[in-house]
Every structure is written in structure tokens, then in C-alpha cells.
Chains A and B, each alone.
Chain A
Amino acid sequence: MIPGEFEQVVMPAILRVGKDAYGVTIRAEIANRTGRQISPGALYTTLDRLEEKDWLSSRMGDPTPERGGRAKRYYEVTASGLKCVSEAQRAFRNLVEGLAIIGASYA
């Protein structure tokens, strides 16, 4: 099963952030890497959906004062999620392989 376009952005962002992946850091990573300012609603609905598909798992952290005493929910890509990301990446590579894009050729 190939993940949707936005799901293909969210899962690698979580992998990049690593153990500290929660709403704020995931959003920041996406903004830094892609330049996309995504809305909170879009992010949380996608995170929920990915969890339902078993591509993500989550756990609650400890409450912190800068969040008004609220806990963070940390996300992690599961083994099946990782498989989906690599399949999507492979499909993309197959699609663009040999094409001259932005002055460079994909190997």
C-alpha cells in the first residue's frame, strides 16, 4: 500500500526527528525541509490516520510547564510504516530515474 502524498512527507519527518518527534517538532521539521507551513488540523488528522493504519505508534510523555502542564504525544514510525515509506521512495525513484530535473539527472 502506497501512502498518500502528505503521509509521505510526515513519516520521513518523524524518522528525521527521531525520539523527540511530537506535533511541534514534526511540524518544524516539515517546514525546515520542505518550506511548507502546514496547518495543525492537517497534521493531527494525518497523524491519527497513520496510527489507524498501524504505520505510526505513539506514547504520552511527561507534562511540561511551557505547555501549560500538558504532556507531549510522541510518535514513532512502525516497521510496517517504514516498509511503506521505502516502497513509496522506490516507486518515486523508478518514476524519475533518468529524467533531467532542475538541471540534474536522477541516478
Chain B
Amino acid sequence: MLKISAAESFLSLFMTRDRASAVIGDLVEQRRASLLNILGTGASLFLRSARAQPMRLSLAAGLGGILWLVAGSIADILIRLGFRSHHYGDIYGVISWSIAIPALVGYVIARFTKNQEITGCMGFVIVLAFSTFGEAVTGGYAWTAQFLRSMVGFDFGVPAFILLVSGALTRNRALRRHMTHNC
């Protein structure tokens, strides 16, 4: 019951409460209220609404920023525990790529098998993994962060990167153009 209520709240992020309730009701009726289905439905709705409403992208940027702060705090704790700076980079490089690479492989497989649920989930994970964990390595150890800097000449931060990747995922040319000029 708690899981279902949490799922309903999760879906409410992407649609009105009564719509989310109807979707969860449908999944319960079909006995399909699995974590994958709920997350996948949420991710699909997120990507769909992101295409129509740039505000949703701002929400993603905010979430990315929060995760960035969490990752930074973990890094601080690790440093206090005695890890030297190159360890700090190594650890976050490993975390970043160990999430991003499986997600990328999953994304490609899901695209080929045309499984929209997994595609949506993996796309979301890729965005978070590449941007949040990559950028968390503020010393520039992460390949992702270095790549970004070499591409644009300066570090333009997590929010802008999330906006760009989300834009690429939504395949909305006009939105991408808008973000490229405004970030």
C-alpha cells in the first residue's frame, strides 16, 4: 500500500493527481504495478512533458543540482576520511562510468528492442550519471567534465548540461536551439 501511494506521488510529479491515480488504478487492475512499469511510465511522461514544457526541464536541472550537492558532500566526507585528491577523482570516475556505461548499453539495447519503458528509464539514468557524477568531480578528473570543458571552453555547470542532454533526448530541435543559445 505504501509502495502504491509512493508510486502515485511519483507520477503526480508529471501529471495531475487524479490522472496519476487513474494510471496507478489501471496498473493495479492489470497487476502490472511493478517498479519498472511505474518508473518507466513516469520517465516516459517526463520526457513527453519535457518536450512540451521547458519548466519540467528546469525541474530536472534542480534535481540534478541537488544530486550534485549530495555527491559533493560524499566527496568531502571521503576526503576527510583520508583519501587524497587523485583517489577522490578515481572514486568518482569509477562511480560515474560504472553507472553511465551500463545505462548506455541498456539504452542502446532498449532502443533496438523498442522497449519504451527501459529506454525512458535508461535515458534518465544516463542524464543523471553523465551530468551529476561527472560534474561532481570538480577537480576535473572526470573524463566527462574534461570533455565538457574542451567542448565549450568553460564549465557551464550541471543545470545547463542536463538541459542540453534532456533536449537531445527529447529530439526537439527548436527546444535544443533555444537551450544552446541561452545556456
Contact = CB atoms under 8 A, between A and B. Distances in A.
B115 A45 contact: no
A48 B15 contact: yes
Interface residues of B, number: 28
Contacts, number: 76
Interface in B18-50: 18-19, 21-30, 32, 37, 40-41, 43-45, 48
The A interface is mostly helix, strand or loop, or mixed, namely: helix
Contacts of B117: 39-41
A25 to B, nearest CB: 10
A48 B26 CA distance: 15
Contacts of A5: none
Nearest to A70: B25
Interface stretch (A12-20, A60-68, A88-96, A98-106): A60-68
Nearest to B45: A45
Given A68-B4, A72-B22, A45 B40 contact: no
Interface of B: 1, 4, 15, 18-19, 21-30, 32, 37, 40-41, 43-45, 48, 52, 115-117, 120
Interface of A: 22-24, 27, 39-42, 44-45, 48-49, 52, 60, 64, 66-68, 70-73
